[in-house]
Amino acid sequence: MTVEGQRYSFMFEDGATDRFPVGMRVLAVDDDPLRLKVLETMLRKCQYQVTATNKAIKALKMLRVNRNRYDIVITEVNMPEMDGFKFLELVRLEMDLPVIMLSANSDTKLVMKGITLGACDYLLKPVRIERLKNIWQHVIRKRMCDSKDQNKSPDLDKACHGTESANSVAISGNSGENDKLSMKQKHRNEEEKEYGKDDETEKKPCVVWSVELHRKFVAAVNQLGLETAVPMKIIALMNVKGLTSENVASHLQQYRSYLKRLNNMQAQYCGKAAPLGVKDSTYLQMGSIDGSLSVANTALSSYSPGGMLGRLNSPVGLNLPGITPSGLAEPVDPQNLSNSSNSLGKLQGSVLASQFKNLFIQIPTSLEHNELQQDKCTAHIGGFNSINNTTGNPLMFQWNPQPTHSILALMNLGLASSNPKSIELGNRVLSNFPDHNRCSESLQGAGQLSKFPSNAVSMSGSYNHDHSHSSNLGISSTCHQIGNNPQGFSSVSVPFSLLAEPRGDVQCREGLIGNIVQPINYIRKQRWEEHEQDYRHYMNWTFGAINSSVSADRNLNPLSQNLDKSDAVCSKNKDQSNGITPSALHSIVVEKSAMETKMKPSFDQTKLQGGQMKNRYGSLDDIMSSITKRVWRFLALALLIYVLLLWQSHNCEWISYS
């Protein structure tokens, strides 16, 4: 139990609640001094011990210094420098404290966003003191959850937040709620007893690395730095009960192996573009690359682990591959640039690393500090998605011309959640190989071809959005692609599958120009939101530095500008000249989904749980005529070709087919 836990352990006894809420430590955040003062005053009237700050950043720092110094956080939503949601995310991720959002805006979407991001409450202003008098309940609830978790499985803290119940750590065979299960377990234990020994040898319950758990893990690793992250420290940072060093070591092993793989892939397909000598791409070498990574990473961890900042740059999930603007490029040691570009490739490889469960990842490229984020614009599209960018322009693809960029990856994610509220159309964003030739090579080298069911691949009408980033070493790029994949709904809560998938690179083997044709996934929005952060997280620290360095670098290269333009062409949704709009893309996707739905009614719909998808998209489906369908398909493919040609014409490093 944490300090807080001890502090309030009496609460679980009974009577001795003495003066409980009195002195509860509240951290109040609001950038507006006046509002802050008001809030602070009210909180004090409630006899809380209030710490007030007008900077979310500052608040974060304070929390990082000692997360146990506060019992609850209450923050304004609208804050220019770092909005409340971002703050909320970071706090939830790093400190796991209850967070209350405060806003004058009662927009359901906003509230929903807050709640889905893990806020324990969302208070509308003007807030009455009576309301504040009650907030201690969240602390209690949290503590109770924690203590309950302690009694059964390790750290289920998130489960108590309702919105994140799916994230809890489950220890197999040990989750006592289910009577049947526990009975069964008991039975088995007894049997084991009878058969002698085994009693003490009773198997340890299996730790399930849920998204939430993994998120913590990654946060911890990021905080520590890859090289210095060792199981014990990680455990300490994660603050999760019941985790053993073995558990963490094992997971760390896998995690590292994943990173190594990424590095390998990157090295492979970036080939000689990796001059700084990451040739055989071993983990060790990656460690050396980490020179650069660490630099950025260190910088990162100064405000948050692993570039989590971008997480709120939610992909415009419904419409576009969530390319979001991100931040400003972070200064990176020039000598690391090449490595960085390598790593970008790495990322791309990783992006491809999906075969089973798809997940949409967004990797904020830049490691900008929150302080620098200005004039953010939050748009809400199709639910809880938001777009933040620096221009106030809700366009998604604005990242090119700037030394900023995000990388999105769509990975496989099992979607077990049965929340019928929404099914999101997840656009798969694939990493693209600037040169499919090389891609093929690497694939062959890996001796691996796609495992995608041919039917999935055959769903053409894919749309590729390519954006490339040239570095001094060549061009790296990512390709965002939409395909259709009604599969992947099977439930897998653990994200590592995608990490561990070494040869996801496959997709490039097929499709248009030897390029990628990938299935689309429908992702339940909520689920996605739960996971996206995590997945992005997986990659963030790995690539954030890289990306930013590439971003910075690309400015030096006129080519990149060109590419940027082409990029922009297929990106900007308001670009009427090309007519590719997010909604158009969406349409493609939708249409495809409809097709697939028709094609595999029984199987897939079952998976889709009662045909919700059908319901949701039915109307759209109707709207989509087959003509439109083809037109878009054509446009998408043309676009793809265009971009590829563009690339080809500029990239002299390409290896040609023999």
Partner DNA sequence: ATACGAATAT
Partner DNA sequence: CATATTCGTA
CB of 74 to DNA, least distance (A): 34
Tokens coding 13:
């006894």
CB of 244 to DNA, least distance (A): 8
Binning the chain into helix, strand and coil, the percentages to the nearest 5 are 50, 10, 40
CB of 230 to DNA, least distance (A): 3
CB of 553 to DNA, least distance (A): 31
Nearer to DNA, 144 or 208 (CB): 208
Q: b or e along 96-107 (b: 16 or more beta carbons within 10 Å of the residue's beta carbon)?
A: bbbbbbbbeeee
Sequence-distant (≥ 6) Cβ neighbours of residue 118 within 8 angstroms: 88, 89, 92, 99, 158, 161, 163, 164
Terminal Cα-to-Cα distance of the chain (whole angstroms): 63
Nearer to DNA, 107 or 191 (CB): 191
Among 538, 537, 470, smallest CA distance to 261 is for 538
Q: CA–CA separation, 62 vs 51, rounded Å? A: 10
Nearer to DNA, 11 or 235 (CB): 235
User: Is 350 in contact with 504 (CB distance < 8 Å)?
Assistant: yes
CB of 496 to DNA, least distance (A): 5
Q: CA–CA separation, 225 vs 305, rounded Å? A: 9
Q: CA–CA separation, 605 vs 417, rounded Å? A: 15
CB of 610 to DNA, least distance (A): 28
DSSP output for 371-404: GG--S-EEEEETTTEEEEESSS---S---TTTT-
Nearer to DNA, 100 or 171 (CB): 171
CB of 64 to DNA, least distance (A): 21
CB of 70 to DNA, least distance (A): 28
The H or E element containing residue 614 is helix 612-623
Nearer to DNA, 207 or 584 (CB): 207
Residue 434, CA distances (Å) to 279, 467, 648, 650 in order: 19, 9, 8, 10
Q: CA–CA separation, 352 vs 507, rounded Å? A: 7
Nearer to DNA, 488 or 582 (CB): 488
CB of 447 to DNA, least distance (A): 14
Nearer to DNA, 155 or 330 (CB): 155
CB of 290 to DNA, least distance (A): 13
CB of 547 to DNA, least distance (A): 25
10 Å CB burial of residue 471 (0-12, 13-18, 19+) is buried
Q: b or e along 574-597 (b: 16 or more beta carbons within 10 Å of the residue's beta carbon)?
A: eeeebebbbebbbbbbbbbbbbbb
Nearer to DNA, 215 or 405 (CB): 215
Tokens coding 227:
């090289």
Nearer to DNA, 22 or 206 (CB): 206
CB of 206 to DNA, least distance (A): 4
Nearer to DNA, 82 or 169 (CB): 169
What is the contact surface with DNA in residues (CB under 7 A)? 203-209, 230-233, 245-247, 249-254, 256, 283, 494, 496-497, 500-501
Q: How many other CB atoms sit within 10 Å of the CB of residue 242?
A: 18
User: Is 363 in contact with 407 (CB distance < 8 Å)?
Assistant: yes
Residue 92, CA distances (Å) to 66, 72, 98, 99, 273 in order: 14, 11, 7, 8, 39
User: Is 511 in contact with 592 (CB distance < 8 Å)?
Assistant: no
Nearer to DNA, 267 or 643 (CB): 267
User: Is 88 in contact with 119 (CB distance < 8 Å)?
Assistant: yes
Residue 256, CA distances (Å) to 79, 265, 282, 569 in order: 37, 14, 11, 37
Nearer to DNA, 283 or 642 (CB): 283
CB of 256 to DNA, least distance (A): 6
User: Is 531 in contact with 525 (CB distance < 8 Å)?
Assistant: no
Nearer to DNA, 2 or 254 (CB): 254
